Structure 1
Amino acid sequence: MSDTDTDIQTLIDMMARLPGLGPRSARRAVLHLIKKRAPLMAPLGAAMQSVAASVRECANCGNICSSNLCEICTSNKRANGEICVVQDVADLWAMERGKAFKGRYHVLGGTLSALDAIGPDELRIPRLLDRIGAEGVTEVILALNATVEGQTTAHYIADQLETAGVRVTSLAQGVPIGGELDYLDDGTISAALKARKSV
């Protein structure tokens, strides 16, 4: 096997690790990139290098951005006392697409899972609790996926906030059991946010 063949196989193997791509899909994607080397592969490589060098997690909420704090955390217009807790950045982006939520976010970075040894300290739950008093939070909206892990995490956070003097709500209608926010349409997310209920 030549060095070129090895490089191509390495690229296929790396692409196959991406969500939604298996070995066959990765092979097709790599072949397409090779065919479109000038218009696609070179700019893609440059964009990936730029993102790898400049993008980081927001120190406050866990969103991704190119500075220490994201635009949402630095916007005075978003400081309305509401924090929406989501599992990951894809869920934050899904909420933002709906344009229904005008507060700030808190990205947990996952959900509680005893099987995977993921406890509150492995997530950003302690940071969330710190933000409650520091930012004058009046309502925490738990917008976690309607999975067993998501609901377990939501109940844990609600228990932790029981004496914090804040209203704790969760998304209501429109979010199916087993559903994930990133796959829902904008109207469903908006309806669920408007019909949130106390936990």
Structure 2
Amino acid sequence: MFTPPLARLIEQLQRLPGVGPKTAQRLALHILKRPEEEVNTLAKAIVEAKKQVGLCQVCFHLSAESTCEICRNPNRDNQTLCVVADSRDVIALEKTREYQGKYHVLGGVISPMDGIGPEQLNISPLVRRVSQHQIKEVILAISPSVEGETTTLYVGQLLKPFTKVTRIAFGLPMGGDLEYADEVTLARALEGRRELDYN
């Protein structure tokens, strides 16, 4: 149906999250209609981003340098740490402009069904960071799914001996993702955070 190079492009585009066969086909055909210079610029941007963007050595958020902009920012509150599952969550929370502390990105959630345990996540560096620095509050801002709840409870138990541990309020539906929530919902969720109760 498609010439092999076009079929390969469609196949690769389908690997992107949220891109099905029809969308991949539309994107591929759109790319082919664009001027070669524009397509080369897109391809170069993808390759450069892949080569240059890594993880911050402090918080594990995406960064083109060893330490991300948020960790380097002297105006951020060093005593408050917001723990999220993914860099997309950092981006979503930053859009609210409500939170002025620092972050720690776990790199996912505990999901035994997917073979992801605490060892595969950035939990040990988090515990070290909290135990070695004067952090007054850790806010757990992990999406409210079964795996998110498991991760929240696990991380909360580990951090409780060192500092106050709170979680964002649920202005978010169960199974919802932070990245899809609007700024107002996220802002209210941050304002309504509460301390974890293990009793």
Q: C-alpha separation between the residues in 1 aligned to 2:135 and 2:76?
A: 12
Q: Which residue of 1 aligns with 2:173?
A: 176
Q: Any gaps of 5 or more consecutive residues in structure 1?
A: none
* Equivalent residue number for residue 107 of structure 2: 109
Task: Tell me the alpha carbon deviations over residues 160-184 of structure 1, each in whole angstroms, 9 at most, x when there is no partner.
Answer: 11212x1100111411211110000
Matched, 1:154 2:164: no
The Cα of 1:80 is off from its aligned counterpart by: 3.0
The partner residue of 2:195 within 185, 194, 198 is 198
Distance 1:143 1:159 in 2: 15
- Secondary structure of 1:77 counterpart: coil
Q: 2:184 aligned to 179, 183, 187, which one?
A: 187
SS at match of 2:172: coil
How far did residue 39 of structure 1 move? Answer: 6.1
Q: Deviations over 1:127-167 (max 9, x none)?
A: 10011033311111000001110011000011111212x11
Q: Deviations over 1:94-141 (max 9, x none)?
A: 000011100000111110011112111100000100110333111110
Alignment: residue pair count: 196
Q: Which amino acid aligns with 1:182?
A: E
How far apart are residue 17 of structure 1 and its match? 0.5
Amino acid at match of 1:168: V
SS at match of 2:112: coil
**1:74-105 superposed Cα distances (whole Å, 9 cap, x missing partner):** 12221431110111011110000011100000
Partner of 1:33: 31
When normalised by structure 2's length, the TM-score is 0.93
Percent identical pairs in the alignment equals 38
SS of structure 1 residue aligned to 2:127: helix
